[in-house]
Amino acid sequence: MKTCLVTGGAGFIGSNLTERLLERGDRVKVLDNFSSGKRANLDGLSERFPEQLQILDGDIRDFALVTAAMDGVDYVFHQAAVPSVPRSIRDPLTSNNVNIQGTLQVFLAARDAGACRVVFASSSSVYGESPTLPKREDFTPLPISPYALTKWVGEEYARLVHKIYDLEVVSLRYFNVFGPRQDPKSEYAAVIPRFIDKLLTGTSPTIFGDGEQSRDFTFVDNVVEANLRAADAPCVGGQVFNVACGERYTLNELVMKLNQVLGTSLAATHAAPRDGDIKHSLADITSAKARLCYSPSVGFMEGLARTAKWFAEYGPR
């Protein structure tokens, strides 16, 4: 039985990952300050796996706490972050402190504890405005927001920590993840849960810009699988991999398909584009397929249907 630490484990991706780890029989420590993560995401897991799950309430900027959390840990899945581009523009200091300082502390604590490997959650936002599609890991990052910059710095620390201290750290660049447990109510909510919530309540969703911007939307189960494979793949320390589906849809297409899935017929309204938003995003996942044996098992439409069903049954209004 492995012991895993999931930072940010009460969040959207972190709680889905925690559930999968518990289901396969691992012991899991969740470290979360619940600033954006929700205790409700873990309530059912605590009941189902009382002997396997330990929840630690704390911040990754507290090095003593992170060090204590690492005791006995084999694998670290570092999901904790201040995750929003708009928020990072409004408050770059907090994004910097959490996403850079906090991330380095997680890496160093894992090194000191003798952890086997750390899987670091990075972001496709590091590519910035580079017009070339699809995005490959060997492209020079051109971040256009503080959030994107913090994720690139995290990747560079991962590379250096591996090179200098021989700690196995693998970075995964997530592309527009969506699925159950994603919060639609936050000011910084991602587009799919926000649109679903609007449509379910009879309100037109708002698109910032003309709606022709495109994204490589990736269902959360695919991201969880990529994390598990990144933890076990041989000879990938210090490397970066795209995690996506390798196909893109515009936001106008997204609204149309969500109307189909939900049985609604509401048109979107449009507002001015937001600072820091990129125009197009599409991943080349060749490297992840070859080195991690990763392949997305849930396609876009199936993921939308599963997400819409979950929000219709359990999601907040």
Active-site residues: which are they?
A: 147
Euclidean distance between CA atoms 294 and 266, whole angstroms: 36
Cβ pair 219, 306 in contact under 8 A: yes
Residue 276's nearest CA partner among 47, 76, 83, 12 is: 83
Question: Six-digit token pair at 124?
Answer: 């496709």
Cβ pair 241, 136 in contact under 8 A: no
Euclidean distance between CA atoms 92 and 104, whole angstroms: 17
Residue 169's nearest CA partner among 152, 148, 154 is: 154
Question: Six-digit token pair at 62?
Answer: 């507290």
Cβ pair 121, 239 in contact under 8 A: no
Residue given tokens 């580079």 in the structure block? 130
Question: Six-digit token pair at 221?
Answer: 């189960």
Strand partners, 113: none
Question: Dihedrals φ, ψ of 209, to 5°?
Answer: 105, -165
- Cis amide linkage into residue 143, ω under 30° from 0: no
Q: CA of 31: how far to CAs of 8, 60, 70, 81, in Å?
A: 6, 8, 10, 12
SS3 sequence, 68-96? HHCCCCCEEEECCCCCCHHHHHHCHHHHH
